[in-house]
Amino acid sequence: MLALVAIGNDPSRAGDLLLIALADFVLALAGWQLPWRRWPPQRPAVLALPGFAVLGFSTWAFGGVATGTGPFLVLLYTWAALHFSRRVLLGLLAPAAIAYVAPLVVTHQPPVVLGSALILLPVALAVALLIEAQARHLRDDRERLARIERWRVAMIGTLAHDVRSPLATVQMTLEELQDGATGHTARMLTAALRQTSRIDRLATGLLDLNRIDTSGHLHLDRRPTSARLAVLEALSYVSSAEVQIEIAHDLAVWVDPERFEQILVNLVGNALRYGRPPVTVTITSDEGVDRLEVRDHGPGVPDELRPRLFTRFGVGDARGVGLGLWIVRELARAHGGEARYEPAHPGARMIVTFAAAPASSLSAAGRSSAQRVVDEGPGDVA
């Protein structure tokens, strides 16, 4: 492109500039189209050789004026330093020197101009070696982190998968015991079966969250859901006697019900564990955004913990490993929303937003959900 632009400034050299532009285009096309991944990682360094040739021809075509091609020689060396080993950089020194010095000799430049190679080439090589050292350091760090990440993914995947086998045995045993059980024993077995079902769903969710890190995507089964019924269902897994709900009966949200349950159980569990009652769950909808708020009346989150609040293992202690709020944030982002903390004076306020569905789909769902609440009653939570 620069060669074509230069034709307007120097039409007398249009032929040379067109040849340079064509050579650059062919070189770029080769760099783009050749199947480099099939070959050894150092193979693309051969592109530097025709690159030096183009620069040498440019210097000769312009009568030995190297001021316009010297920076491009340094640029080629910088590119090589970012991608190839120190041995390759040293191997490119001879063709770089030939590409720079030969046109100066052919065009009979004075010794002072030829001597510029003694400055430019060592400087270009020194800069390239410094860049190569830093790039090698970054590559080593990236490979080390990749190895750690592979082990982490394997461990989480194995844990989530292996939990299911003993859990299935426990669930089958509980179901056998439930047959014929009455009274308090039957209620306890029912509660235990609900919790085992929840553990199974959490194991599935853990596998899904593991896939977030590896692929960046989490499959969601989003559908219009009664906000009140979804909250009542989620609260059945926690001690809900000190939890209050402030949700309209006809409000429907567009969420994956199981992921929404994970979010709510984590937030309410944290509020009960670290805050003080009452804990209030509020859901509102405004301008295409659904807003879930879980507030407690405890001491709030200390200032020094707030920056790490939604990070992985950021605020773990003896009562938890610090994954709950990170999971909440990842699930919120998968829904097109976000999770954040606000001080409540007194207490803490955890807020999660979700992208709302089109009004037409939610209105019908809201009417249906409201009827279900009337039919089924509000449950154990007011």
Structure tokens at 155: 């461990």
pLDDT at position 319 is 45
In the chain, which residues have pLDDT < 50?
A: 318-321, 362-382
Domains of the chain: 34-219 (no CATH), 225-376 (3.30.565.10)
- Mean pLDDT, all residues of the chain: 82
For 14-30, what is each residue's pLDDT tens digit? 888 899 999 999 999 99
- Which helix (H) or strand (E) is 349 found in, with range? strand 348-355
Provide the 10 A C-beta neighbour count for residue 9. Answer: 8
235, 268 contact by CB (below 8 A): yes
Omega before 35 within 30 of 0, i.e. cis: no
pLDDT at 378: 38
Residues 127, 130, 136, 142, CA torsion sign: negative
H/E element, 327 = helix 324-334
Distance CA 5, CA 2 (A): 5
Residue-level pLDDT at 380: 40
User: So what's the pLDDT on residue 196?
Assistant: 84
Scored b (16 or more CB within 10 A) or e, 32-41 reads eeeeeeeeee
State residue 214's pLDDT score. Answer: 55
CA distances from 255 to 197, 225, 259 (A): 20, 7, 8
CA distance 79 to 72: 10
Cα separation, 48 vs 20, in Å, equals 15
* Beta bridge pairs of residue 281: 245, 294
Q: What is the pLDDT of residue 215?
A: 54
Q: Other C-beta atoms within 10 Å of 153: how many? A: 14
Report helix angle 183-215 to 117-178, nearest 10.
160
Burial degree of 163 (CB within 10 A; 0-12, 13-18, 19+): middle
Q: Report the C-alpha gap between 93 and 77 in whole angstroms.
A: 9
